Amino acid sequence: MEENLDSFEKIKVPALDEILGKKFPVLDDGFIRVVDYMGSDESIVQAARVSYGKGTKKVTEDRGLIRYLMRHHHTTPFEMCEIKLHVRVPMDTWRQWIRHRTANVNEYSTRYSIAIDASQKTNLSEWRIQAKNNKQGSEGFFPDEIGSKLSEREKELQDFARGIYQERLSLGVAREQARKDLPLSTYTEAYWKIDLQNLLHFLALRMESHAQYEIRSYANIIGNEIVNRWCPVAWEAFQDYRMNALSFSLQELEILKEIYKGNKSEVNKLADSYGWLKIIDKRFTKNIERAEFEEKLERLGIEKPWE
Ligand SMILES: Cc1cc2nc3c(=O)[nH]c(=O)nc-3n(C[C@H](O)[C@H](O)[C@H](O)COP(=O)(O)OP(=O)(O)OC[C@H]3O[C@@H](n4cnc5c(N)ncnc54)[C@H](O)[C@@H]3O)c2cc1C
């Protein structure tokens, strides 16, 4: 990366320029494309050097500086980069997406225009079964015989709702009222502009395994196909220190210390004192904090120390 503190030349990212306007398909009829952007990895460094002084260059390489900023949550330099996307998303996914308040949004208006004539359709092999342990999640898929019936009924419902909508429009009902019974599977489109700091926050929440499959599909494209080209060094740092990192609470560290010492009775005593060996949240069949710690132990290749 070039030292750019005193340069006012517009920063360009050739790898992102190559895909400007290109539609990345998502789900059956959705897409994401980059409309415009401002900044790059260089802008993050440039902004940081304003606060740390030019002298920093001598001791810290650009990559090291970006990684330092990411590790220590020095967030404002990442806000110097902005991106504008054009997205086409089913309304139920958009409802989750729009909860991220730190973006600038302009959405297709179904008061002004006729609603987009496309609804998200579920392939017969993609109907998910309600998870037993997690009320917000799913586990496994229905067999194709059931899936095929569900997809057939989905089509009937979508066609029926669209038919009534068209009937209302042809009678002259106002578009703002005619739309009220359209299903949440109806696609909407928006321009969505956000800075890199808040985009990474969005991606941390929406690429994560607990996010719903549909929004995760969009987030994965934004992260892997777009941010990866746009700010590769920041993206790498984000993977290393946010997405794939593990953090431990004080309690977890205490238990880890005892596991390391091989002190099983102390491990169990501590876990019991934290209430981890009882079920305290009736929504789950096991203690949720303990379950999350067990996932971390699995990543570390450590067997869970209790029955
Ligand atoms: C897996 C999952 C499940 C969810 N389940 C539910 C649910 O059941 N019900 C539900 O209602 N929502 C749910 N949400 C939405 C969630 O609670 C957040 O509203 C959403 O993820 C947006 O997060 P955010 O506010 O951090 O992001 P943004 O709105 O993008 O904000 C980014 C950051 O800016 C700051 N910020 C923004 N606005 C303010 C403000 N007004 N005051 C102070 N700080 C602010 C905060 O630090 C915030 O983290 C869920 C989200 C996920 C990922």
Concatenated DSSP letters of 37-57: EE--HHHHHHHHHHHH-TTHH
Pair (79, 24) in one structural domain: yes
**Residue 307 belongs to a domain:** no
From CA 264, how far away is CA 218, in angstroms rounded? 44
Tokens of 62: 């650009």
Section 170-180 average pLDDT: 97
Of the pLDDT bands very low, low, confident and very high (cuts 50, 70, 90), residue 55 is low
More confident residue, 131 or 199: 199
Q: What pLDDT score was predicted for residue 136?
A: 78
Does residue 155 belong to any structural domain of this protein? yes
Range of the domain at 128: 124-181
175 with 262, same domain: the answer is no
Q: Say if 117 falls within a structural domain.
A: no
Question: What angle is formed at CA 51 by the lines to CA 45 and CA 57, rounded to 5 degrees?
Answer: 50
Give pLDDT tens digits for 199-236.
999 999 999 988 999 999 999 999 999 999 999 999 99
Catalytic residues: 206
Mutation probe of ligand 1 site: the residue of 193, 201, 207 with most atoms within 8 A of C-beta: 201
Could you tell me the distance, in angstroms and rounded to a whole number, from the CA of residue 252 to the centre of ligand 1? Answer: 26
Judged by DSSP in three states, 78 sits in helix
pLDDT at position 61, please? 85
Percent of the chain exceeding pLDDT 90 equals 80
Res 249: pLDDT:
97
Q: How many angstroms separate the Cα of 177 from the Cα of each of 114, 116, 167, 307?
A: 11, 15, 12, 58
Ligand 1 atom nearest the C-alpha of 202 is: 30
Q: Identify whether residues 92 and 222 lie together within a single domain.
A: yes
Q: Please check whether residues 194 and 175 belong to one and the same domain.
A: no
Same domain, 192 and 104: yes
Average pLDDT in the chain: 92
Ligand 1 centroid–CA 96 distance in Å is: 10
Question: In which band, very low, low, confident or very high, does the pLDDT at 281 lie, cut at 50, 70 and 90?
Answer: low
Which amino acid, residue 34? V
Boundary-marking domain end, from 181, 215, 230: 181
Residues 233, 265: one domain? no
Measured at the CA of 58, the angle between CA 52 and CA 64, to 5 degrees, comes to 70
Q: Between 11 and 83, whose confidence is greater?
A: 83
| Helix 62-71 and helix 41-52, axial crossing angle in degrees, nearest 10 | 80
**Strand, coil or helix: 130:** strand
User: Which of 166, 181, 196 finishes a domain?
Assistant: 181
Distance from the CA of 239 to the center of ligand 1, in angstroms?
A: 21
The beta strand positions in the chain, using DSSP E, are 24-26, 30-38, 82-90, 104-107, 128-130, 138-141, 187-195
Q: Report if residue 145 sits inside a domain.
A: yes
The best mutation among 78, 98, 100, 210 to test binding of ligand 1, ranked by most ligand atoms within 8 Å of the C-beta, falls on 100
Is the pTM higher than 0.85? The answer reads yes
105 with 22, same domain: the answer is: yes
Regarding the beta carbon of 175 and ligand 1, being less than 6 Å apart is answered no
Assess whether pLDDT exceeds 50 at residue 185.
Answer: yes
Which residues have CB under 8 Å from 200's CB, separation 6+?
A: 78, 227, 234, 238, 242
Q: Could you tell me if the CB of 105 is within 6 A of ligand 1?
A: no
Q: What is the tally of structural domains in the chain?
A: 3
- Does any ligand 1 atom lie closer than 6 A to the CB of residue 210? yes
